[in-house]
Structure 1
Amino acid sequence: MSTAAPDLEVDPTVDPTGSPNILGPRLRVPAMGIKPDRKKPIWYVIGIFLGQFGLFVALMGPATVSVQMKARTLSDLPAEQASIAAAALAPGAIAALVFNALGGRLSDRTRSGLGRRRPWIIGGAFAMCAAILIMAIAPNVVVLATGWFIAQACANMAYAAYTASLADQLPDEQYGKVSGIVGIAQNSAIMAATWLASFFGGTMVGLFMIPAVLGFVLVTVYALMIPDPVLKQNRYPFNVRELVTSFWTNPLKFPDFGLAWWGRFMIILASYLFISFRVLFMTNHLGLEDAAAATAVATGVTIYTVLSMVAGLAAGWISDRIGRRKVLVAGSILVFGLGTYMLAHVDSVGGFFLCEAIMGLAYGTYLAVDLALVFEVLPDRRTAGKDLGVFNMANALPQSIAPALGGMLLARIGGGTDFTVLFVAAAISGVIGAVLTMFIRGVK
C-alpha cells in the first residue's frame, strides 16, 4: 500500500505528468514522496543493472587496476609505485566526500523538463569520461591525481542521482532482489574492468578510456529508461543552509541510518584495502611478471565475481522471503574479514584464488542485502536523494581512502612487498562493520 506525507498528496509545485521514460514501454511516473506499490518489469530491472555496471566499470578500472599500471610507468621501484598510486588516488576521497552528498541534494531540487535525476546521471557520466582521459595522458602524478579528483567528483554526482532514482522507483517487495542485482553489477563491473586491463594494458589511452566510454553508454541507456518526476518550482530553495545540510543526516535523530552508514563504510574500506592492491600483490609479493600478474588478477576477479553473483542472487531472494536483512549482512562481513586475514598467509597463486572465492561469496551476500536494508531506514522519502547521497559517502569515501591508507601501510611498514599489515587492517575493519550492523533496531 502506498504511503505519503499528507502535504505531498496534492502538490502544485510538481508537474502532474512528469517526464516519461524515453526507452521501453511507458511506465507510470512515480509521485514524489510516495512509496511505489507496483513492481517494475524485468526489462527495467535489467536497466538498473546496466546503470550500476556502467558507472562502476568506468570508475573502478582506474581505482583497481589502471592507476597501478600507470604508476609502474612512472617508477621502477616497488615502494615508489605504491606511493604514487596512493598519492594519485587520495584526492578522490575529498571529491567523494563533497560531491556525492551534494549531487543527491541537487538532484532533489533540480527543475528540468527531463526530470530531477536524469540530467545528473548523464551529465556526470560524460564529464567523468573527460576526466579519465586526462588521467590516461597524464605525464606525472600531479596531473594523474587532478584527473582522478575530477573523475570522482563527476562520477559521484551521477551515482547519487542513480541511487536516488532506485528509491523513487521501487516498491518494498523488490528491494532485496534489486539490491542483489546491483551488487552483482558492481562486482561484475570490477571483473570486466580487470579483463579489459589485461587486453588493453599495452596502451594507456585504451586501458583508461575503453571502460569509461562503455560505462557512459550503459549509464545513458538506464537514464533514458527512467520515468522521472518534474518540479515546476522548488518548495525548498537551495541556500547556504541547504548546502551545509547536504552533507549531514543526524545519527542521533536517525540512529539506524547512522549505524548502517558506518557499517557500510567499514566493509567497503576492508574490501578496497584488498582490491586496490591486487596487481602489486601479484608482482611485488608473489613475484609475477606484469603480463602474468594481469592474467592472474583477472582470473581471481572472475572467481570472485562469479561466486558473488551466485551468492547475491540467493541472498537477495532469501532476504525478501524471510524479511530479515541484518543477520545476513553481519555474517557476510565477518566471513569477508576472515578471507582478508587469510590473504596475509598466502604465498601462491592458488592460495590467492581460494581467498578470492571466500571473499566473493561473502561480498556478494553483503551487497545483495545491504542496499535493501538502507532503503528501509531512510529518514525521509521526500529527500531520498540527499539522504542516499550522504549514505553513498560511506560507499565512495573508503574507495579513495583505502589506496592512501593501504599505500602508506604497504610502503612504510611492508616495504612494498609485505602485505601482512594491510590485510590484517582490512580484517579488523570488516569485523567492526559487522558489529555495528547488528545494533540496527528498525530492521530484522
Structure 2
Amino acid sequence: MATPTRSTGFPPDPTIDLDGSPNLVGPKLPVPHIGIQPDTVKPWWFVAGVVLGQLGIFLGLMGPATVSIQLKATTLSADPAQQAAIVGLAVAPGALAAVLFNALGGRISDRTTGRFGRRRPWIIGGAVAMLVGLFLIAIAPGAGLMAVGWFFTQATANMAFAAFTASLADQLSRTQYGKVSGLVGIAGNLAVMVATWLSTVLGGNMLLLFMVPAVLGALMAILYALMIPEPVLKENRHPFNLVELLSTFWRNPLKYPDFALAWAGRFTIILASYMFVTFRLLYMTNHLELDAASATGAVAIGVTIYTVTSMVASLAGGWLSDKLGRRKALVAAAILIFGLATYLLLHADSVAAFYVVEAIMGIAYGAYIAVDLALVFEVLPNREEAGKDLGVFNIANALPQSLAPAFGGFLLANLGGGTNFAPLLITAGVIALIGAILTMFIRGVK
C-alpha cells in the first residue's frame, strides 16, 4: 500500500503540518497543501466517495424539504390552505439556520486545528447531529416543534455541507471540475428521488419516514469523510474577533463581481426550483386533484423522470464544459429553460403533462448544476479561504431552500387560496429569468 506523499516545494510554514492526516479508507493519497490548487487527478474511487458524500447529506436534508414535511402537514390538517401555511411556518426558521451555519461552517472549518484535519470533523459531526433535528420533526405534534427541529437540522446539515464543499476545492484539480460537478449534481437529484420513493413505502410511519433516509445519509457522509487526505493546521494564523466573525458572511461584490454574479445565479434557480418542489405534493392533490396516495405515487414517478433526465444532462454538460472550456453560456441557458419549464407547470392539466414538464426541468437543472460548481471554483476570491468563500456561496444554495416554503406558502395560501398555483409558478419563472440574465455578465469565465 502506498504511503502519503509529503508536500514539497512550498515555503516553510510552522502553522501547517506537511504530513497532514492521511485518508483512512482506500489507498493512501497525497495530502494537498493548504491554499494551493492540486494538480494531481483523483482516482475513480475517490470521485465515487464524493458522490456518496453529496448523496448522503442531501438524502437526509432534501427528503424532508421536498416530500416528508408536506406529508407531515397532511397529518395535521385536512384544509389545503392550512397545510400550505403549516409547511411555510414550520420550514421558515430554517432560513436563518441555513444562512448562519453554512457560512460559519466554511469559515470555522478553514480554521479548525487538530490531527484529523480541517473538514473531516465537521462533516462527521454535522451528519450525526442532523439526526436529532429530524427526530424532533418526526414526533412533532404541531408546526412549532417542527420549526425547532428544522432549524436544528438545517444548522447541523449545513455545517456538514459547507465542510464537504470546501473539501472539493481542497482536493480536486481544475481538469476534474466539470466532471465531478456533474456527478455532484446527479447525486443531489438522486437523493431527492430516493427520498421520494422511500416516502411511498414509509409514508404511513412518520418516524421511519424521517429517520431511515437520515441514518443512511449520515453513514454515506461519514464514509466520504474517512476517504479524504486532510491538510492539518497546527495553529490558527488569523484572529477570530467580531470583525472576522461578521466578515464570514460577506465578500465585497464590487471587488469580486464575478463571484457575486455566480452567487446571484445560484440563488435564483434554487429559489425558483424550491418554490415548486416544496409544494409539489400539494400541486398534485390541489391542482391535478389526485388523492394523497395517487399523488405520492405520481410525485415519485415524476421525480424519477426528473432525476434520470438530469443525470444524463449533468454528465453531458460537465463533459462538454471541460471539453470546450466554456461554462457561462451553458449556465445561463440552463437557468432560462428551467424558468420556462416552471411556468409550463401552470398549463399541465394531466399527470402525463406533468411528467413531460418534469423531464424538461430535469434536463435544464442537470445541465446547470453540472457546470455551475465548476464555474464557481474558477471565480473563488481566495483559495486559502475556500471554506469561507464556498460558505458564502452556499448561502445562495441553502437560503432559498428555506425561504421558498415561506415565500411560496404566502403566495399559495394568500394569493392562490391553497389551490391556485398561478401566483407561485409565474413568480418562480420570472425569478429564474432574472438569474439567467445576471449570469451572462460574468466576465472572468468563458
The verdict on a shared fold, with TM-score over 0.5 as the criterion, is: yes
Corresponding residue for residue 190 of structure 2: 188
Q: Distance in 2 between matches of 1:216 and 1:57?
A: 9
Q: Name the amino acid aligned to 2:145.
A: V
| Aligned counterparts of 2:18 and 2:45: Cα–Cα separation in 1 | 25
Match of 1:350, as an amino acid? A
Which of residues 219, 222, 243 in structure 1 aligns to 2:221? Answer: 219
- Give ranges in structure 2 of 5+ residues lacking alignment: 1-8
- CA distance in 1 between counterparts of 2:168 and 2:122 reads 14
For residue 130 of structure 1, report the CA deviation from its aligned partner: 1.1
Counterpart in the other structure of 1:3: none
CA contact (8 A) 1:164 1:384 kept: yes
Distance 2:357 2:89 in 1: 28
The 5-angstrom pairing of residues 197-236 of structure 1 reads 197-236=199-238
1:337–1:431 CA contact under 8 A, matched in 2: yes
Distance in 2, matches of 1:174 and 1:195, equals 31
176, 179, 182: which one aligns with 2:181: 179
The structural deviation recorded for 1:416 is 0.7
Q: C-alpha distance in 2, partners of 1:107/1:9?
A: 23
1:313 equivalent in alignment to 2:315? yes
- Counterpart contact for 1:95–1:150, Cα < 8 Å: yes
CA distance in 2, matches of 1:433, 1:52: 24
- Say which of 290, 293, 312 aligns to 2:292: 290
- 1:55 maps to which of 57, 60, 74: 57
Cα distance in 2 for partners of 1:33, 1:282 equals: 48
Task: Give yes or no for contact 1:109–1:238 (8 Å, CA) kept in 2.
Answer: no
> Aligned partner of 1:183: which letter?
G
d(CA) in 2 for partners of 1:255, 1:208: 40
Give the match's secondary structure for 2:227: coil
User: What number of residue pairs does the alignment pair up?
Assistant: 438
1:3-402 to 2 correspondences below 5 Å: 9-402=11-404
Q: Which amino acid aligns with 1:429?
A: I
Per-residue CA deviation, residues 283-327 of structure 1 (Å, 9 max, x unaligned), is 111111111111000000000000000000000000000000010
> 2: CA distance between counterparts of 1:264 and 1:310?
21
Tell me the amino acid that sits aligned with residue 199 of structure 1: V
Q: How far did 1:8 drift? A: 6.6
For 1:105 and 1:312, how far apart are their aligned partners in 2? 29
Find 2:409's aligned residue among 407, 422, 426: 407
- Tell me the SS of whatever aligns to 1:37: coil
Task: Tell me how far 1:240 sits from its aligned partner.
Answer: 1.5
Q: 1:257 deviation in Å?
A: 0.3
Q: Percent identity?
A: 65
Q: What letter corresponds to residue 146 of structure 2 in structure 1? A: L
Query: Is the 1:18–1:115 contact (alpha carbons within 8 Å) kept by the matching residues of 2?
Result: yes
Say whether 1:419 aligns with 2:421. yes
Conserved 8 A contact 1:8-1:33:
no
Letter in 1 for 2:109: S
Tell me by how many angstroms 1:76 deviates. 1.1
TM-score normalised per structure 2: 0.97
Deviation of the 1:10 alpha carbon: 2.4
TM-score (norm 1): 0.98
How far 1:237 moved relative to its partner?
2.6
Secondary structure in 2 aligned to 1:344?
Answer: helix
Cα shift readout 1:96-144 (whole Å, capped 9, x = no counterpart): 1111000100000001111000000000011111110011001111000
Write the deviation string for residues 204-240 of structure 1: whole angstroms up to 9, x where unpaired.
0011111100100000000000100111111113221
Q: 3-state DSSP class of the match of 1:133?
A: helix
Unpaired runs of at least 5, structure 1: 1-6
